[in-house]
């Protein structure tokens, strides 16, 4: 994801925007349009639904805390065996580090304020800053060879440049939050839902929804992106008591977006998906139930593809359907 350099503090007029930036302003932010009101008891009702649905599995967790991320939910709903195969296998790489660098570049761009810096310069500043951190991406940066460093700079600069081209400069009065963490403790802290949104804009007023949440993506749209954003909408609702009025995926390679207006039904569906996913996670991780497998678009990069019949089944399915994924 990426935000905008110092242009965030400049006056924006219609003539300064690219047509895609203007489209983002008109279609995503829906300037001047009425915002929805939500019942004041919506968040407590959602929390009750979640905790009722998880009460028995929370008891089975004992004193342990189960941390659940959007990635966990996406994988366990897609293919249980994929989820189990991916546990503990994360490794830093230029592509894995790209998101951290881009987010930091955006934070810097919003913080510097006075001078407009080119995307490549922002990326360099971001990498320098992240290298000083104590863990996470800093370790990768410390050991990356020159080729990996170059790949990281190129990939991050590409994303920052596209963001600047496509998204309107962020105004401080929009209250932009970059890589903003959201969490919800459920069942007396035994289940922790956690997420991090690329960009949140706006502020609720009373029970009027006035927040827009955007996730920036590369590649093509997939249904999991919609589920991720609904999960964020649920966490934001539990946090502040009012949902975002809209969530959207923004595809940087095409300059297209997939927005979805948030409704109570959408949040209830998101809560049901969380309950189903967490129950499955507990069965797999705590109770050691055997994982099922399901051929899917993740088969191509699944750590278990060499030993799983699902990978072959997916290849056959692709061939039948003429898919190129």
The residues that touch ligand SF4, with contacts defined as CB under 6 A, are 79, 81-82, 85, 293-296, 298-299, 302, 304-305, 308, 310-311, 314
| Closest to ligand SF4 by CB, 83 or 245 | 83
183 or 292, CB closer to ligand SF4? Answer: 292
Shortest separation between residue 303's beta carbon and ligand SF4, angstroms: 7
Q: Which residue is nearest to ligand SF4 (CB)?
A: 310
CB of 302 to ligand SF4, least distance (A): 3
CB 60 → ligand SF4: shortest distance, Å?
A: 25
Query: Alpha-carbon distance 75 to 222, whole Å?
Result: 13
SS3 content of the chain, % helix, strand, coil (to 5): 55, 15, 30
- What pairs with residue 194 in β-bridges? 69, 183
DSSP strands (E only) in 162-298: 177-186, 191-202, 211-217, 246-251, 256-261
For residues 17 and 84, which CB has a smaller minimum distance to ligand SF4 in the complex? Answer: 84
DSSP 8-state assignment for residue 107: H
3-state secondary structure of 105: helix
Minimal distance, residue 74 CB to ligand SF4, in Å: 12
Nearer to ligand SF4, 250 or 314 (CB): 314
Closest separation in Å from C-beta 183 to ligand SF4:
28
Nearer to ligand SF4 among residue 121 and residue 294 (C-beta): 294
Q: How far is the CB of 195 from ligand SF4 (least distance, A)?
A: 23
With a CB cutoff of 8 Å and minimum separation 6, the contacts of 54 are: 186, 187, 191, 275, 278, 279
In terms of Cα–Cα distance, which of 93, 124, 87 is closest to 5? 124
Minimum Å gap between C-beta 98 and ligand SF4 is 23
Closest distance between ligand SF4 and the C-beta of residue 306, in Å? 9
Q: Which residues contact 75 (CB under 8 A, 6 or more apart)?
A: 82, 83, 86, 298
Q: What is the pairing mode between strands 191-202 and 66-69?
A: parallel
Hey, what's the torsion of the CAs at 115, 254, 245, 243, to 10 degrees?
Answer: -90
Give the separation between CA 256 and CA 145, rounded to whole angstroms: 35
The residue (of 30 and 313) whose beta carbon lies closer to ligand SF4 is 313
How many Cβ atoms sit within 10 Å of the Cβ of residue 265?
Answer: 8
Nearer to ligand SF4, 55 or 312 (CB): 312
Identify which of residues 42 and 82 has a Cβ nearer to ligand SF4 in the complex: 82
């Amino acid at each position: 994801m990426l935000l905008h350099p110092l242009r965030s503090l400049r006056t924006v007029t219609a003539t300064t925007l690219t047509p895609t930036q203007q489209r983002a302003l008109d279609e995503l932010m829906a300037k001047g349009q009425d915002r929805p009101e939500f019942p004041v008891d919506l968040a407590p009702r959602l929390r009750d639904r979640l905790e009722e649905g998880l009460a028995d599995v929370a008891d089975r967790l004992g004193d342990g805390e189960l941390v659940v991320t959007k990635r966990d939910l996406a994988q366990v709903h897609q293919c249980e065996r994929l989820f189990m195969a991916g546990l503990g296998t994360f490794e830093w790489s230029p592509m894995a580090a790209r998101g951290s660098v881009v987010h930091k570049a955006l934070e810097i761009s919003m913080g510097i304020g006075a001078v407009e810096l080119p995307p490549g310069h922002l990326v360099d500043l971001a990498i320098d800053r992240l290298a000083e951190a104590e863990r996470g991406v800093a370790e990768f940066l410390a050991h990356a060879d020159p080729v990996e460093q170059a790949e990281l700079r190129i990939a991050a600069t590409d994303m920052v440049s596209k963001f600047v081209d496509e998204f309107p400069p962020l105004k401080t009065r929009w209250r932009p939050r970059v890589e903003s963490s959201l969490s919800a403790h459920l069942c007396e802290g035994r289940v922790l839902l956690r997420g991090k949104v690329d960009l949140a804009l706006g502020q609720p007023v009373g029970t009027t929804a006035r927040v827009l949440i955007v996730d920036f993506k590369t590649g093509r749209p997939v249904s999991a992106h919609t589920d991720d954003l609904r999960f964020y909408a649920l966490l934001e609702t539990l946090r502040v008591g009012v949902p975002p009025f809209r969530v959207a995926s923004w595809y940087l390679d095409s300059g297209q977006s997939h927005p979805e207006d948030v409704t109570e039904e959408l949040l209830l569906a998101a809560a049901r998906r969380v309950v189903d996913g967490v129950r499955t996670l507990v069965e797999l991780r705590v109770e050691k139930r055997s994982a099922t497998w399901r051929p899917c678009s993740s088969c191509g990069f699944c750590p278990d593809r060499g030993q799983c019949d699902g990978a072959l089944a997916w290849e056959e399915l692709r061939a039948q359907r003429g898919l190129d994924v």
